[in-house]
Structure 1
Amino acid sequence: MVSIAEPLPRYAEIRRALEEKILSGEWPPGHRVPSEHDLVAQFGCSRMTVNKAISALAAAGLVVRRRRSGSFVAAPKSQETVLEVHDIKAEITGSGRAYRYVILDRERRRARPEDLARLGAARGSFDVEALTVLHFADERPFVHERRLINLAVVPAAAREAFAASPPGTWLLEQIPWTEAEHIIRAENAGADVAHHLAIARGAACLVVVRRTFQAGATITAVTLTYPGERHQLVARFSPATR
């Protein structure tokens, strides 16, 4: 027996079409959704149907409705694409928020055993640049970053002031990576991280540990700690083909 799926209600079809533009990135955060008048003309339906579709998107947190201004693609939480090496500065500015960063600590040193472990190096004698950076979105602490840069791979980092761009942005612009590794875990904020993120000590945090490589050598190892209630991970993928 063949089961025939019921057709979607008209408002659900419209919602799906608009949702696809949002989730695909064609409409980024802050993008103005076409007016109800324009959508009525585009989809050949009533204004009530369009309103129902927009209301459903708003209820799902995908759009924000502003009186007398219209509807806009929402960015209620930071979204990190799990399988990409993203640029924090671009992520924040792309969502329409003001960005700044502060380098809390910086040290050039010979790689210690714990540094080698973070970089995934079994042994070696080379220098690293160790940095602690705090990123802000609209003057609110966004993410705490601990980064090691392998100076044997990126010697120019020792001379870079990181005055115009944060270390992560600078690295993405300066040196191509060929492989990346992510570890994602939950942690409770320690005193130092909690202080800088302006959250309670012991608050739930989302931690992303990332290493990037070039021809097998580790470029950088970074630990990004986000306030858990303000960050989510997003992955979009297709079924594997056989």
Structure 2
Amino acid sequence: MTQLANAGLVLRRRKTGSIVMPQKSQTAILEIKDIREEVTARGGIYRHEILTRSTRPATDSDAARLGVDAAQPLLVLDCLHLSDEAPFCLEERVINLSVAPEAAEESFAAMAPGVWLLRHIPWNEAEHRIAAVGAQAPVAALLDLEAGTPCLVMERRTWRQGEPVTAVRLTYPGAANTLSARFTPSQG
């Protein structure tokens, strides 16, 4: 029941019991997938590399993006995911070291940051935002694209018991990727 309440599916009240909450028909549940699995499912050979890594206090921009206080200690990573040695996805991630202090010592050589977080830091809430954007020059260069090339961008934030864990921006070349979801109609 606690998990159902945390997911917003039931409302628990003392002395009166639990009730099933009405669900919004616009709500879509998206999975947090392992990019390695995405690549291998397409028949590719997966590899990732950490491009940049720094530990620093949160800037005002970081604080707004992740929902932490300014000066909160963060691990900031850029990771390139490859399929058959071609760029597949650029991962730009900030990790709240107050919630995940062990991430500061992790090399992420054997396991990409997203998978490491899924296996080591349990979360109970996530938010996705998905957009089509033209690749800015620095991102386009990393993905081996022309500047302005359409890309699929997924921004995600996760929380553990109300504390922000991570914020990530995943940029995929648009021509090679689609987003699909399977769902059922809401029960009005």
Say yes or no: does 1:142 pair with 2:88. yes
Contact 2:57 2:71 in 1 (8 A): yes
TM-score (norm 1): 0.64
Alpha-carbon separation, structure 1, partners of 2:40 and 2:159: 26
Identify the structure with the greater helix proportion. Answer: 1
Say yes or no: does 1:181 pair with 2:127. yes
- 1:68-147 equivalences under 5 Å are 83-121=30-68, 123-147=69-93
**1:221 alignment partner, one of 159, 167, 177:** 167
Contact 1:178 1:213 in 2 (8 A): yes
Q: Per-residue CA shift, 1:25-75, capped at 9, x if unaligned?
A: xxxxxxxxxxxxxxxxxxxxxxxxxxxxxxxxxxxxxxxxxxxxxxxxxxx
- Which residue identity is paired with 1:130? V
TM-score (norm 2): 0.82
Contact 2:57 2:70 in 1 (8 A): no
- Counting matched residue pairs gives 161
Instruction: Pick the structure with greater CA Rg.
Output: 1
- Which residue identity is paired with 1:134? L
What is the DSSP-based 3-state SS (H/G/I as helix, E as strand, rest coil) of the residue aligned with 2:133?
A: strand
Offset, 1:90 = 2.1
Offset, 1:241 = 0.9
Contact 2:48 2:80 in 1 (8 A): yes
Matching residue of 1:162: 108
Alpha-carbon separation, structure 2, partners of 1:92 and 1:104: 19
Offset, 1:219 = 0.7
What is the DSSP-based 3-state SS (H/G/I as helix, E as strand, rest coil) of the residue aligned with 2:145?
A: coil
Offset, 1:97 = 1.4
Structure 1 spans left out of the alignment, 5+ residues: 1-80
Alpha-carbon separation, structure 2, partners of 1:229 and 1:120: 32
CA RMSD of the aligned region, Å?
A: 1.4
What is the DSSP-based 3-state SS (H/G/I as helix, E as strand, rest coil) of the residue aligned with 1:229?
A: helix
Contact 1:130 1:148 in 2 (8 A): yes
Runs of 4+ that moved beyond 6 A: none
Identify the structure with the greater strand proportion. Answer: 2
**1:195 alignment partner, one of 113, 120, 141:** 141
Structure 2 spans left out of the alignment, 5+ residues: 1-27
- The farther-off stretch of 183-192 and 89-98 is 89-98
What is the DSSP-based 3-state SS (H/G/I as helix, E as strand, rest coil) of the residue aligned with 1:171?
A: helix
Contact 1:85 1:180 in 2 (8 A): no
Alpha-carbon separation, structure 1, partners of 2:37 and 2:181: 18
- Which residue identity is paired with 1:182? H
Alpha-carbon separation, structure 1, partners of 2:146 and 2:38: 25
Alpha-carbon separation, structure 1, partners of 2:125 and 2:42: 27
What is the DSSP-based 3-state SS (H/G/I as helix, E as strand, rest coil) of the residue aligned with 2:178?
A: strand
Alpha-carbon separation, structure 1, partners of 2:29 and 2:183: 11
